[in-house]
Amino acid sequence: KAKVYIRAALKGIPDHTEFLHGLALIHFMEKNYDQCIDLARQALSVNEKDVPALMLLGQSYSIKGYPAESIRYWTEIDNLRPDGFAAKLALIELYIMTNDHIRRTIYVDKLKNVASGKSIQEIFAAAENENPAFPIYMPDRSLLEKILSKE
């Protein structure tokens, strides 16, 4: 039912990023990633620095098996939020998946620099709280714990 209301609202205000996010998020949760991507791109056409749209794109492309596209969007988030944790964790995961050890190490170092003594659990909690109303990315805790405890 929410889709019906949001679509009606978008007819009146087609470039309203929050309506676009809401509809994109519904499609994301329904695993309709192509529609999610289309809507998130529309939001970016209105505001190229729109973090929720970038997150939806980064995670949708990751799930669809396009790590290079996912990396592009998560890198943009990291550039917009240099003190954030979620993008760095997502990029570490993506670089593990793509066997890019050099970039993985770069992002582990960036994460350590902004973590300033936080525990791994505190880093995860901070990442999850960066967008509590927009829970798109949840860190793979077991994978990241293995990597971060070694580095």
For residue 139, the model assigns a pLDDT of 79
Is the whole model's pTM more than 0.85, yes or no? yes
The terminus-to-terminus CA distance of the chain in angstroms comes to 47
Q: What is the pLDDT of residues 37-88, one digit of tens each?
A: 999 999 999 999 999 999 999 999 999 999 999 999 999 999 999 999 999 9
The pLDDT assigned to 22 comes to 84
Cα distances (angstroms) measured from residue 74 to each of 52, 78, 88, 90, 104: 11, 6, 8, 7, 13
In tens, the pLDDT along 78-135 reads: 999 999 999 999 999 999 999 999 999 999 999 999 998 899 999 999 998 887 666 7
Chain centroid, CA 5 distance in Å: 25
| Contact yes or no for 72/87 (Cβ under 8 A) | no
Q: Is 27 helix (H, G, I), strand (E, B) or coil?
A: helix
Question: CA torsion 44→106→146→114, rounded to 10°?
Answer: -70
